[in-house]
Amino acid sequence: MKKFKRFAFFVLCACICVGMLSGIPASAGRQKLIPGGMNFGVKFFTDGLLVVGTTDITTSAGLCSPAKENGIKVKETIISVDGKKMSTSEELARTVDQSGGKEITLTVKNTEGMERDVKVKPALSSETGKWCIGVWVRDSTAGIGTVTYINAFTGDFGGLGHGICDTDTGVIMPVGKAYVVDVNITSVDKGDARTPGELKGTFGKEVRGEIFKNTRTGVFGSLSTLPAVLREPMEVARKKEVTEGEATVLCQVNGKVGEYGIEILKVYKDSGDTKNFLIRVTDPALLEATGGIVQGMSGSPIIQNGRLIGAVTHVLVNDHTKGYGIFIENMLETAQK
């Protein structure tokens, strides 16, 4: 069995590829949130083991792939083996090998969240001398993102504006445990015509909070320690209030959060829960520092007319000055479900 490196690094960001906003009475006024803009690091452990590939095993009788032959598919999640919960790729490999070739029962969850039991008979690898089932799994990852908002009263926060996805399958990874840690940005790589730029940095050791939800519209959790410097809370905008024209984005460049000019080029009123409007970076200082939108800026809050309207989510591959934003209303609706 091949194993993936734990904490395989990826950058949470530009994928190439009011209480309750709708429920609060009008007389109570709008919800206010602290806009973020600061970077954070994530150490993410999956709930179960995400299948990212199957492989053939070389045996004395030839090639075989027990996992694939018994219907285990890429993008599914292995929850347990013979009733024992699996948390790491090493634990799965050890459990399979200790079977001695006897049939084992894997509890597997598909992409629709439905679980089933799959009986698999491991094969003895003539290359390693170990019993294997021929599956590649991922159990963890790590990366950099940007905080969109913080609730000053609860410490709850939202960020990224899109989910943490597996780099091979594109599947939103199921949350087991996910910790927020400090990150020190050491450099900014500007993009070229083929690939976007990215923020590069190192993680701190102290845990600053946890992430409880990993969704299409962002990650949501709670901070145990608030950043030392915070802006004043501001009102959040409804979808219908977002317009084409000037706006600003908060993002961390050169060690501190700054406010930079952007233009909203197009608002897509019926765009669903992501990629709700098209933006272009216009601020010379930000263009000089990053070349536009780079990986790691996902979640950077966008402000228009003194209100928090959304966050940066994706960059356009062929023009790094442009990208997509998500309505803050969509992020909040997901966070409250």
Q: What is the pLDDT of residue 11?
A: 42
* All structural domains of the chain with their residue ranges: 8-46+140-336, 56-133
d(CA 300, CA 248): 10
Nearest to 319, CA basis, from 284, 291, 295: 291
| Range 8-46+140-336 has CATH code 2.40.10.120 | yes
Q: What share of the chain is helix, strand, coil (3-state, %, to 5)?
A: 10, 50, 40
Question: Can you give the pLDDT at residue 66?
Answer: 96
3-class secondary-structure state, position 27? helix
Distance, in Å, from the CA atom of 19 to the CA atom of 156, rounded to the nearest integer, reads: 12
125 classed as catalytic: no
Of 156, 168, 273, 283, which residue is the catalytic one? 283
The tens place of each residue's pLDDT in the chain, 337 residues long, gives 433 333 333 344 444 333 333 333 333 468 999 999 999 999 999 999 999 999 999 999 999 999 999 999 999 999 999 999 999 999 999 999 999 999 999 999 998 889 999 999 999 999 999 999 999 999 998 889 999 999 988 999 999 999 998 888 888 988 889 999 999 888 888 877 677 788 888 898 889 999 999 999 999 999 998 888 899 999 999 999 999 999 999 999 878 899 999 999 999 988 888 999 999 999 999 999 998 999 899 999 999 999 999 999 999 988 899 999 999 999 999 998 8
pLDDT recorded at residue 59: 94
Which of the following is catalytic: 89, 140, 298, 300? 298
162 flagged as catalytic:
yes
Q: Please, are residues 143 and 41 in contact by the beta-carbon 8 Å criterion?
A: yes
What's the pLDDT score for residue 245? 97
- What was the pLDDT predicted at 206? 87
pLDDT recorded at residue 29: 67
pLDDT (0 to 100) of residue 195: 76
CA angle in degrees (0–180, nearest 5) for 120-106-89 = 100
Q: Would 8-46+140-336 and 56-133 be classified into the same CATH topology?
A: no
Catalytic residue among 80, 89, 139, 162: 162
User: Is 156 considered catalytic here?
Assistant: no
> What's the fold here for domain 56-133?
Pdz3 Domain (2.30.42)
Cβ–Cβ under 8 Å, residues 182 and 39 = no
pLDDT at 233: 95
Residues 9 and 145: beta-carbon distance below 8 Å:
no
Q: What is the 3 state secondary structure string of 313-334?
A: EEEECCEEEEEEEEEHHHHHHH
For residue 193, what pLDDT is reported?
A: 67
Entry pTM: 0.84
Contacts of 96 (CB under 8 A, 6+ apart): 1, 81, 104, 122, 131, 132, 133
